Every structure is written in structure tokens, then in C-alpha cells.
Amino acid sequence: MLDLEFAELSDRGLSRERNEDCLGHVLPASPAQVQSQGWLFALADGVGGQDRGEVASRLAIDTMLAGFRKIPDGIMHVSLLPRLVQEANQAVYDMGNHGARAIDRGYADPGGAILAGGLAGGLAGGTGMATTLVACALRFDSAVVSHVGDSRCYLFRQGATTSLTRDHTMGDEQFRLGILSRAEAASGVNRHVLTRSLGSEMFVAADTVTVNIVPGDILLLCSDGLHGYVPDAAIERMVNLNSTLDHAAAELVAAANAAGGHDNVSVQLIRVRTVERMGLYRGRPYRLA
């Protein structure tokens, strides 16, 4: 049976007045739910320069978690996660365009302020409330990752690191089109300008991938407050060398703050202890010997 351990940590950083990141998870309540529902981890980073970024990120996470808790037994995560991301997008979009409805639902920002924190560049041509989102659902021997924006998911396996997401930023798009080199994209003025986010449009397309997992794998979900300031090689070293996930999470956040603490920083670390090997026949899972 799939068994995991995890740690998560979020920090305001040294420069921001508030924390616009939000974390959440859903854990199976019984061994039966380990097989029928699985686990969900999600992280959102409210877009700075937009209305109430921390409210947008919290609403996105709350919507994802509530939707996951209501799923029918046995539904495939690869079809579920994009639908939950769209539901979260719709919730944030509705709040940004119907403030009274948001207040009725209990998500009003008491200060009513226009936030100046969060992502450095904001949206590419968008207005209103917005957030990034990355989510990872695990069951049996697979992990499904859906994301929108520049919050990332990494897989660490036997000393190797794989990024399971690609940033939805103008700088990264220009790199993929061959307009900029990797170094130019990483240091350019457009590196934080989002080309895709939750809440900026009524519909959003989430990138979704499925990976097989094995015992010993570690997954890291993080906001750009980490990967924007701490090199991937340093992240890999801290994850692999720490004896516990709690220590690794604390060291990652400390490294982001040591690099200037210019942004909120959030991390979720998930270690796979055991898996249940499964196959699929006509869309139905079955246990492998």
C-alpha cells in the first residue's frame, strides 16, 4: 500500500508585509481511502500587484481541497486534477469580478487593500485577482501533477533531479521559442511575468503530467520565492543531504531568506516510503504481483 511522509513550510520572507502564498493537503482517513482516493498536496502563490493576492491563493487551495474530498471512489487523478484546477480558476475569477459574492462566501480581505507583494512582474496584460497553483495527487504507484503559473514541482530520485513542471512565464516562453538563451531568460526583465494564471480568465489550461513513483522518491512543490533565488543544484543538495523532511524544509526556506528574502517562500516535501504496484486494464487499475 502507498505510504508517504511529508513536511511543509511557508514564510513571509524579509521584504513582504504579508504572506501571499498558501499551502494545503488532503490525507486519506483510512486504509480504504489510500486506495480509493489517495493523497493531495497543493501550493498557490498570489500574484502581486493584483487585488488581495493572499485571498486568491487561499481560495484556490480551499477549492482544490474541497473538490478532492468529494471525489467518487476510484476516479482517475489524471482526469480529476485539471477539472479541480478549473474549478479553482472559476472561483478566483468570480471573486475578482464579483466582489460582493466573494464577501458573502467569507473570503473578503479585511483591509480591502491593493497588494504590492507577490510576484515581481505580475500578469502579462491581465487585471484583477490571480494566483499560481501547483498540485500533486498520489495513489498506488503514480503521482499526477497539474500546474498553472510558475510554482514548480521537482522529483528527486537516486541523486537525480527532474522538473515536472515548466514555468508559464514570458521569459520561459521566449526560451522555448529560441528567442532567448537559458541564461538570458533566467536573468531577463520578463522572467517573472506570467503568461498563465488562475483568475485572469474564465477558463485556464493546466499542464498535467503523470509519473511512476518508487520508494525513496522525494517530491518538492515550491513557490518562486525558492526557485527564483536558490539554484537548483543547491535545492537538490539540501533535499538529499538532510536526514528529515522537516530539516530540509527549514533549510530551503532559510536559504531563500539568506539570498535576500525578497519574496514569500513556501515548500512542500513528500517522501515515498512504499508503493502499491498497479496496472490498468480498460481504464481500471489492478494489482500487479
Query: What are the tens digits of pLDDT across the range 183-240?
Result: 666 666 666 788 999 998 999 999 999 999 999 999 999 999 999 999 999 999 999 9
- CA 31 to chain centroid, in Å, comes to 26
CA–CA separation, 28 and 129 (whole Å): 32
Q: What is the pLDDT of residues 142-193, one digit of tens each?
A: 999 999 999 999 999 998 999 999 999 887 777 666 676 666 666 666 667 8
Q: For position 167, what pLDDT does the model report?
A: 92
**What average pLDDT score do residues 271-278 get?**
90
Cβ-contact 236, 161 below 8 angstroms? yes
pLDDT band at 82 (very low <50, low <70, confident <90, very high): very high
At 29-42, the pLDDT tens digits run 999 999 899 999 99
Q: Is the CB of residue 265 less than 8 Å from the CB of residue 254?
A: no
- Which residue, 14, 6, 1, is CA-closest to 253? 14
pLDDT of 84 > 70? The answer is yes
- The rounded Cα 23 to chain-centroid distance in angstroms is 8
Q: What is the pLDDT of residue 112?
A: 28
Pick from 118-132, 153-167, 260-274: least confident: 118-132
* Closest to 148 measured CA to CA, from 232, 270, 43: 43
Residues 6+ apart with CB under 8 A from 75: none
Residue with cell 490571480: 130
Contact 189, 204 (CB under 8 A): no
CA distance 70 to 84: 11
Q: Contact at 8 Å (CB) between 87 and 204?
A: no
Helix (H, G, I), strand (E, B) or coil at 27: coil
For the chain, the straight-line distance linking the first and the last C-alpha, in angstroms and rounded, comes to: 13
pLDDT tens, residue by residue, 2-33 = 999 999 999 999 998 899 999 999 999 999 99
What's the rounded mean pLDDT across residues 44-64? 87
- The residue ranking higher by pLDDT, 72 or 245, is 245
**Res 97: pLDDT:** 82
- Pairing relationship of beta strands 39-45 and 21-26 according to DSSP bridges: antiparallel
How does the average pLDDT of the chain come out, rounded? Answer: 85
Query: Does the pLDDT value for residue 121 go beyond 90?
Result: no
Q: What is the pLDDT of residue 192?
A: 72
- When pLDDT is cut at 50, 70 and 90, the band that residue 58 belongs to is very high
pLDDT of the residue at 146: 98
Looking at residue 289, what DSSP letter applies? -
Question: If we measure between CA atoms, which residue out of 224, 190, 200 comes closest to residue 117?
Answer: 224
Average pLDDT of the segment spanning 110-129? 40
Q: What is the mean pLDDT of residues 52-58?
A: 91
